[in-house]
Structure 1
Amino acid sequence: MDVALYAKVFEALRARIESGELAVGDKLPTQGDLAAEFRVSVITVKHALALLQEAGLIARRPRIGSVVISASSTSPRPRQALPTIGCILTNFDDSFGTRVLHGLLDASIGTANVALSRTEGYHDREQQLIAQYEHLDGLILLPSSSDWIPPAILELVHQQRPLVILDRDLVGLPIATVCSDHVGAGRQAAAHLFELGHRNIGLVTSAGRVTSLDDRHTGFVYAHAARGRAFDPRHEFRDVRSTVPHSQASMDDDVARLKRFVKDNPDLTAFVGGEYSVSLLLRRACLELGMRVPQDVSIVSLDSPDNAYDDALQAFTHVAQDEHGLGQAALDGILAQIATPGSVVKSNLATTLVLGETTRPLT
């Protein structure tokens, strides 16, 4: 089982003292030098030095530093502690995120401790939390944006610290990522509607700036190309604002603009909603226009909660991500990097079309 970083530093320094490489009376390198040598944070080094002092091997003297005072320990070796992994999400709910945590926490039993926080999309909070967790043994991060990279992330990459980016692709950086196949998801959603006989399909997404939305758009366009149809950009509405993290936009305003979009494109008989909250607003707009779902218009949602205990809710036909698998793969990626520092693996998990009550063949 992998040990925490501070325990690895402790064991390495303990071995040097017991072998005589560091003799009684010798000063240990500075905390900064040790942090650079072991590629860990100064906080991790301080923790290891505290264990050496507790074991009776060194004394930590003001203005002098850490000095070897014994070649043999007066206390037993510390047990191999589980690594502590930080997990920072933008947010989580039943449509996406909660089941990711289920997978992560299930996989952590007996292998890791997990510290969880959320940013709610605020860049300054994201930067603060990354810095707060930088002393931990690894970090799983769901960034709030693909356009802004927190400076603290660049420092972790430079130090080759265990890091996994969840559900995003920070292009150009050597960072391990765990994502769903969002291109495949966009293709699956549109292909299902084509198979039901629909020919003019709209795409509605949020105004968020994340790679998953770009990839879903790409898959949607690919599905058109596979059927020899050109995608008409007028059939895309990518400006739902109220669903973007910490947005002050009104849902009512979004619905009003969606109603104008639907009315301006009367040839559209089906839609793909870029995420569950967007699909809900789109359905509301259609209903307020007197269009029944699915009798008059079909909707496929990308993501949906499990409404197993509420028969009154209309279940969306949707493309499901393997959220439990995402959480497990993220933790596996961190543990692999702890075992082999610097290893970078990019995982792409398949999605599944789940039939619901919001689609029907075009008649």
Structure 2
Amino acid sequence: MSPKTIETTTIEDRFDGIFQAYAERNSVVNRDLWCTKIKSTLPVPGATPEQDVEVITKFLKKHPEITALFALEYHIAVLAKRAMEKLGLRVPEDISILCFDEPGNNITDFIFTHLKQEEEQIGSMAINRLLEMVDGEWSFIKEYVPASLVKGNSTAALICRKSPINHEKSPSLFSV
């Protein structure tokens, strides 16, 4: 699940990472299972959160075989959880959700399983790059900083289950 438009290199890099992970496993990316119509999380929102919850609800009804959602942003994960609750689905019993960057100041007991980025290291690298540019040293270098997986309570291993939406048996597509 991602924003409707790719307006930042961060989102582009996350898409690239998904394609790379599939390629490393010799798997084909099924773009039909991507919901890229989220608009409320954009810097200039094109929809309300309620409208996006409806988009996700319709998407889940159309794809009852889905056993896990990967949200490219934390706020999209929150919208997905609201859509699931609207459908009477439970996280993670019915569908798992994982995302990027759970905020550190979460005041609830619910923690999304998430990819934690090394924000301080990334910030330090960015400042060093800016200082190099100020000194007249400029070159385009794309650097990657690995993220770590932090297990929350939004994912569960699924081996085989009945779809909570249409009660057909469907295999697990993802487990954490």
Find the partner of 2:81 among 253, 263, 283: 283
| Mapped pair 1:361 → 2:166 | no
Report what 1:123 is aligned to. Answer: none
TM-superposition CA deviations, 1:52-79 (whole Å, max 9, x none): xxxxxxxxxxxxxxxxxxxxxxxxxxxx
Distance 1:262 1:230 in 2: 21
> CA separation in 2, counterparts of 1:325 and 1:298?
29
1:343 partnered with 2:141: no
Does residue 316 of structure 1 match 2:112? yes
Segments of 5+ residues of structure 1 without an aligned counterpart are 1-203
More helix by share: 1
In the TM superposition, residue 245 of structure 1 has moved relative to its aligned partner by 1.0
Q: Distance in 2 between matches of 1:237 and 1:215?
A: 17
Tell me by how many angstroms 1:352 deviates.
1.3
SS in 1 for 2:99: strand
Unaligned 5+ segments in structure 2 are 160-176
Could you give the per-residue CA deviations for residues 122-146 of structure 1, whole angstroms, max 9, x where no partner exists?
xxxxxxxxxxxxxxxxxxxxxxxxx
Structure 1 vs Structure 2: percent identity of aligned residues?
Answer: 30
User: 1:259–1:331: structure 2 CA closer, same or farther, 3 Å change rule?
Assistant: same
Does structure 2 retain, via aligned residues, the 8 Å contact 1:307–1:315? no
Bigger Rg over Cα: 1
Write out aligned runs for 1:199-214 (5 A): 204-208=1-5, 209-214=7-12
Q: CA deviation at 1:316?
A: 0.8
Cα distance in 1 for partners of 2:81, 2:64 equals 15
Which residue among 52, 63, 80 is the counterpart of 1:254? 52
Structure having the larger proportion of residues in strand: 1
For 1:229-248, list aligned pairs within 5 A. Answer: 229-248=27-46
Partner-residue secondary structure (3-state), 1:300: strand
Q: Look up the SS of the partner of 1:272 in the other structure.
A: strand
Give the 3-state SS of the residue equivalent to 2:70 in structure 1. strand
The 3-state SS of whatever aligns with 2:45 is: coil
Q: 1:263/1:284 Cα in 2 relative to 1: closer, same or farther (>3 Å)?
A: same
Query: What's the offset of the Cα at 1:262?
Result: 0.6
1:325 aligns with 121
Q: Which residue of 1 aligns with 2:166?
A: none
1:350 counterpart SS class: coil
Aligned to 1:218: 16
- Whether the 8 Å contact between 2:132 and 2:138 is mirrored in structure 1 is yes
Partner amino acid, structure 2, of 1:268: I
Partner of 1:23: none
Q: Does 1:303 align with 2:98?
A: no
- The 3-state SS of whatever aligns with 2:97 is strand
Between the aligned partners of 1:233 and 1:294, the Cα distance in structure 2 is: 23
Aligned residue number for residue 162 of structure 2: none
Q: What TM-score, normalized by structure 1, do the two folds share?
A: 0.41
Task: Note the C-alpha offset of 1:253.
Answer: 0.8
* Pairwise CA RMSD: 1.8
Corresponding letter in the other structure for 2:138? S
Q: TM-score with structure 2 length normalisation?
A: 0.80
How many residues are matched? 157
- Cα deviation, residue 210, structure 1: 2.2
Please give the alpha-carbon distance, in whole angstroms, between the structure 2 residues aligned to 1:351 and 1:211: 16
Give, in angstroms, the shift of residue 345 of structure 1: 5.5
